[in-house]
C-alpha cells in the first residue's frame, strides 16, 4: 500500500493499463462473484427438490425484499471502491484507511437499524410484492431469520469494496469464496441433511456472512501497520463525510431504481400465478449469473478508472474504457452460448416441477439474450462507479426505468409473459446505451484541468 499524503505531482502518478492489468483484476473477481449466483442456484435447487412451487416463490420474493433493503447501503461497496481507488491513484494513504473506517461505522449502524425495523420492513415488502398466502408465509419464515445477518452483510460490502479499490483482487476472491462457499455447504446440509426447509437456507446465510466479516477484519488488520490508522478528526471530516453521503444519495437512487425494475418484474410474474412466478424466478437466476459473470470486468473498470481519475491521467482512463469493453463483449457472447447449450439442463436442475420446467423452456430465449443486451450497462456501471460520476449514472437509470415501465404497459397486454420479458430486455439495453452516450462528456470535464 502506498504511504503518501497525497502531495505527489500528478505527472508522476501515471500508470499503464494493459490486457494483463485488466484481467489480473477481472479473472479472480469473476470467479469470486460467480460463487454468488451459484449460491442462488443451489438454494433454488435444494428448495426445488422439495417439489413445492410456493417454497421457490417465497425465497425468491424474500430475496428481493433483502435486495431492496440493502440497496439503501449499496454505496458501502460501490462508493468505497471508487473513493478508495481514487485515493490510491493520488497515493493518499491516510484517506485510503479513513474511507474504510467511515464505511464500517455506517455498516454497523445501518445493520442494527435494519434488525430493529424488521417487522415493518417485512410487511411493506410483502404488501408491495404480493403473492399467494402460501408464498407470503414462506417469505416471512425466510426473512425473520436472514435479517440477523444485516450488520455482517453490510460490513462485508465495505470490506470487499475497500480491497477492490486497492486492486487486491486475490483478497476479494478469497472473501467471496469463503462467504458463498460456506453458505452453499451449510444450505445443503441444513435443508437436505437436517430437513430445515427455507429456515435452513436463511440460517446458512447468517452464519456465512458472520464468518466472512471476521475473515475480512483479520485480513485488514494484518495488511496495515500498527499505529498508522487516521485520527477520528480525519475519519469524521465533515467535507469528506458529505462527499460520501452525496455519493450515497445518487447511488442509492440508482440502485433502488434497478432493484425496483427487478421487483416490478417479479411482482408482475406473481400476478400470473405461482407457476409463472416460479418459472420466471428460475430464469431470473440466469440474469443474476450474467450480472456476476460480467461484474468481474466491471470491477476492473471500477478500480482502473477510479485510479486514473485520482491520478488525473486521461490515457489510462481511455485505455480502461476500451479494454474493459472488448473483454466484456467477449464474455457476454460466451455466456449466451453456454445458456443456449445448457439452459434446459439448468432449468431441470433447479426444479423438479414439470410445469415449471415447461414454462422455463418456453421463455428461455430471453435469458439467452440477457448477457448481450446488458453487457454495456455492466461495463459502464464500473466506469462510472470508479470515477464517482454518480449523478449521471442516477439520471440514466431513471430514464431507462421510465421507458421500461411504459414498455410493459404496452407489451404485456399484447404478448403476455413474453411482453414482460421484452420490456425487461429493453431496460437492460437502454441503460448501457445512455451511459455510453454521456461518458465522453464526463471524461472531458473530469480531466479538463490536467
Mind giving me the DSSP string for 243-301? HHHHHHHHHHHHHHHHHHHHHHHHHHHHTT-HHHHHHHHHHHHHHHHHHHHHHHHHHHH
Q: What's the pTM value of the predicted model, to 2 decimals?
A: 0.74
Q: Does pLDDT of 11 surpass 80?
A: no
The answer to whether 369 touches 426, Cβ cutoff 8 Å, is no
Locate 126 and state its grid cell: 410483502
The answer to whether 165 touches 80, Cβ cutoff 8 Å, is yes
Look up residue 18 and give its DSSP letter: -
Q: Which helix (H) or strand (E) holds 97?
A: helix 93-116
- Which residues, in sequence order, are bridge partners of residue 5? 92
Average pLDDT over residues 28-35: 74
pLDDT in tens, 129-182: 766 677 777 778 888 888 888 899 899 989 988 898 888 888 888 888 888 888
Locate 375 and state its grid cell: 453487457
Phi, psi of 5 (to 5 degrees): -95, 15
**How many angstroms separate the first and last alpha carbons of the chain?**
25
Average pLDDT over residues 95-100: 85
Q: Check residue 80 and give its pLDDT.
A: 85
Query: Using alpha carbons only, how large is the chain's radius of gyration in Å?
Result: 21
Q: Check residue 43 and give its pLDDT.
A: 66
Q: Which residue has the higher pLDDT, 195 or 267?
A: 267
- Residue length, the chain? 450
pLDDT in tens, 323-346: 999 999 999 999 999 999 998 998
Residue identified by cell 490515457 is 315
pLDDT in tens, 285-332: 888 888 878 888 888 898 899 888 888 888 899 999 999 999 999 999
Locate 271 and state its grid cell: 400476478
Instruction: For residue 301, give the nearest of 23, 57, 36, 109 by alpha carbon.
Output: 23
Q: Does pLDDT of 6 surpass 60?
A: no
Amino acid at each position: 500500500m502506498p504511504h503518501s499524503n497525497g502531495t505527489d505531482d500528478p505527472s508522476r502518478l501515471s500508470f499503464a493499463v494493459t490486457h494483463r492489468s485488466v484481467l489480473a483484476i477481472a479473472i479472480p473477481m469473476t470467479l469470486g462473484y460467480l460463487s454468488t449466483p451459484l449460491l442462488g442456484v443451489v438454494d433454488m435447487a435444494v428448495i426445488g427438490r422439495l417439489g413445492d412451487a410456493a417454497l421457490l416463490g417465497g425465497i425468491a420474493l424474500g430475496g428481493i425484499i433483502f435486495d431492496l433493503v440493502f440497496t439503501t447501503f449499496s454505496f458501502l461497496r460501490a462508493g468505497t471502491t471508487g473513493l478508495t481507488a481514487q485515493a490510491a491513484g493520488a497515493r493518499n494513504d491516510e484517506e485510503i484507511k479513513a474511507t474504510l473506517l467511515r464505511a464500517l461505522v455506517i455498516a454497523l449502524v445501518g445493520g442494527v437499524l435494519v434488525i430493529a425495523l424488521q417487522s415493518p420492513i417485512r410487511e411493506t415488502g410483502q404488501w408491495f410484492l404480493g403473492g399467494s398466502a402460501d408464498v407470503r408465509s414462506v417469505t416471512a419464515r425466510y426473512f425473520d431469520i436472514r435479517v440477523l445477518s444485516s450488520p455482517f452483510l453490510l460490513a462485508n460490502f465495505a470490506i470487499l469494496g475497500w480491497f477492490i479499490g486497492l486492486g487486491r483482487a486475490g483478497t476479494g476472491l478469497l472473501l467471496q469464496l469463503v462467504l458463498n462457499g460456506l453458505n452453499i455447504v451449510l444450505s445443503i446440509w441444513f435443508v437436505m441433511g437436517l430437513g430445515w426447509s427455507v429456515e435452513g437456507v436463511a440460517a446458512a446465510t447468517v452464519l456465512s456472512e458472520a464468518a466472512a466479516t471476521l475473515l475480512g477484519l483479520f485480513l485488514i488488520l494484518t495488511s496495515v501497520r500498527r499505529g498508522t490508522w487516521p485520527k477520528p478528526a480525519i475519519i469524521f471530516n465533515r467535507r469528506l463525510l458529505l462527499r460520501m453521503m452525496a455519493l450515497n444519495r445518487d447511488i442509492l437512487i440508482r440502485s433502488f431504481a434497478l432493484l425496483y425494475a427487478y421487483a416490478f418484474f417479479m411482482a408482475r410474474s406473481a400476478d400470473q400465478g405461482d407457476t409463472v412466478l416460479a418459472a420466471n424466478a428460475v430464469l431470473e437466476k440466469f440474469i443474476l449469473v450474467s450480472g456476476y459473470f460480467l461484474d468481474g470486468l466491471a470491477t476492473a473498470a471500477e478500480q482502473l478508472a477510479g485510479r486514473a481519475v485520482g491520478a488525473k491521467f486521461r490515457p489510462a482512463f481511455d485505455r480502461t474504457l476500451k479494454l474493459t469493453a472488448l473483454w466484456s463483449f467477449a464474455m457476454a457472447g460466451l455466456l449466451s452460448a453456454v445458456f443456449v447449450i445448457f439452459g434446459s439442463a439448468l432449468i431441470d436442475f433447479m426444479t423438479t416441477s414439470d410445469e415449471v420446467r415447461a414454462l422455463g423452456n418456453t421463455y428461455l430465449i430471453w435469458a439467452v439474450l440477457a448477457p448481450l443486451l446488458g453487457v454495456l450497462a455492466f461495463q459502464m456501471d464500473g466506469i462510472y462507479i470508479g470515477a464517482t460520476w454518480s449523478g449521471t449514472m442516477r439520471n440514466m437509470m431513471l430514464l431507462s426505468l421510465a421507458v421500461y415501465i411504459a414498455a410493459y404497459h404496452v407489451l404485456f397486454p399484447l404478448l403476455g409473459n413474453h411482453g414482460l420479458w421484452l420490456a425487461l430486455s429493453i431496460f437492460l439495453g437502454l441503460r448501457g446505451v445512455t451511459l455510453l452516450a454521456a461518458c465522453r462528456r464526463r471524461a472531458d470535464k473530469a480531466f479538463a484541468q490536467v
